């Protein structure tokens, strides 16, 4: 069995890594965007972002004052066992969140929506969110923490089949323009798109596409992969750059995840994982060994499987 205390300690370490250390794939994407950027101010902003990340890592302090809404994605090997069961796992993750809020520290962002009661630990009703997925075989558990802003940077629209790719592109451009003009997202961003599914699935797929895939990763469907590249190029052609300044560095990458949907609709969600692209993953084995990484490896072939399995 995997000890619950080991999962708690691992989750606390992941909270620290996610808040402080920007993943190498995103840093490389921003560096490439800086090299392409022709606008002097936007290029300066990108340079200062990198300096800020270096300072945060050196001083072991969160790289952004707003540490977002910590949450977890848990991928479980089918043969994995947890000491005390998965209730013990959830208790461990909630405790780790509270401890990390105090020790890193994270900003205690979680409040009751009406009374505004704040327990000062980022734990509350339905918080932190824990999303599960499963994988055939395996005795390990992958724990990923994501610290994503919880105010803006997301939108949803029910399109129709006749809108097609053109309608998707119009919605994409409209959304990014509004995010940039109104300060609703911190560019440059990894943009995730959920295409299809039910409304709630569509929203989940878009957020996961933004937060759980690495820069440069392409969807295995060639048509979807081509559309990802088209949208990334389109997003960088609208005249906005880093932090809304004039430029061409709004989108570091674009990821699309697809779910089969109702025959009469084409729901679309758009999510931006901003310059605070905070994620960290660990695979925990029953022998106590831990493998840390920054690629969640969330979208496996099993997760993207279609139709009936034989």
Pairing verdict, β 154-159 and 141-148: unpaired
Q: Tell the residue number behind the tokens 């310059």, with chain if given.
A: 275
Residues 256/202, Cβ–Cβ less than 8 Å: no
CA distance 101 to 123: 9
Burial 193-210 (b: 16+ CB within 10 A, else e): bbbbbeeebbbbbbbbbb
Pairing verdict, β 266-273 and 141-148: unpaired
In this prediction, residue 310 carries a pLDDT of: 62
Q: Number of H helices and number of E strands within the chain?
A: 7, 9
Mean pLDDT in consecutive groups of 10 residues from the start of the chain, 310 residues: 97 97 94 93 93 95 91 98 97 98 95 96 96 96 92 90 97 93 85 97 97 97 98 95 90 97 97 88 97 97 89
Contacts of 285 (CB under 8 A, 6+ apart): 2, 139, 140, 291
């Amino acid at each position: 069995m995997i000890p619950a205390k080991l999962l708690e300690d691992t989750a606390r370490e992941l909270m620290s890594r996610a808040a402080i250390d920007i993943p190498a794939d995103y840093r490389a994407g921003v560096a490439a965007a800086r090299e392409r950027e022709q606008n002097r101010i936007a290029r300066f902003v990108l340079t200062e972002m990198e300096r800020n990340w270096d300072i945060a890592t050196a001083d072991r302090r969160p790289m952004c004052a707003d540490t977002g809404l910590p949450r977890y994605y848990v991928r479980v090997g089918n043969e994995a066992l947890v000491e005390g069961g998965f209730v013990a796992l959830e208790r461990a993750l909630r405790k780790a969140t509270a401890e990390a809020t105090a020790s890193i520290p994270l900003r205690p962002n979680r409040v009751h929506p009406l009374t505004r009661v704040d327990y000062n630990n980022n734990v509350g009703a339905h918080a932190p969110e824990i999303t599960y997925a499963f994988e055939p075989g395996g005795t390990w558990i992958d724990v990923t923490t994501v610290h994503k802003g919880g105010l803006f940077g997301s939108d949803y629209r029910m399109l129709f089949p006749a809108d097609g790719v053109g309608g998707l592109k119009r919605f994409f451009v409209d959304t990014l323009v509004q995010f940039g003009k109104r300060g609703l997202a911190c560019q440059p961003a990894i943009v995730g798109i959920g295409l299809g599914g039910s409304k709630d699935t569509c929203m989940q797929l878009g957020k996961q596409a933004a937060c759980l895939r690495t820069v440069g990763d392409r969807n295995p469907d060639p048509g979807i992969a081509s559309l990802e590249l088209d949208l990334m190029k389109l997003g960088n052609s609208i005249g906005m750059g880093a932090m809304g300044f004039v430029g061409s560095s709004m989108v570091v990458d674009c990821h699309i995840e697809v779910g089969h949907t109702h025959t009469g609709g084409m729901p679309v969600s758009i999510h931006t994982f901003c310059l605070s692209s905070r994620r960290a993953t660990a695979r925990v084995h029953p022998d106590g060994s831990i493998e840390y990484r920054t690629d969640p490896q969330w979208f496996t072939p099993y997760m993207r499987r279609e139709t009936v399995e034989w």
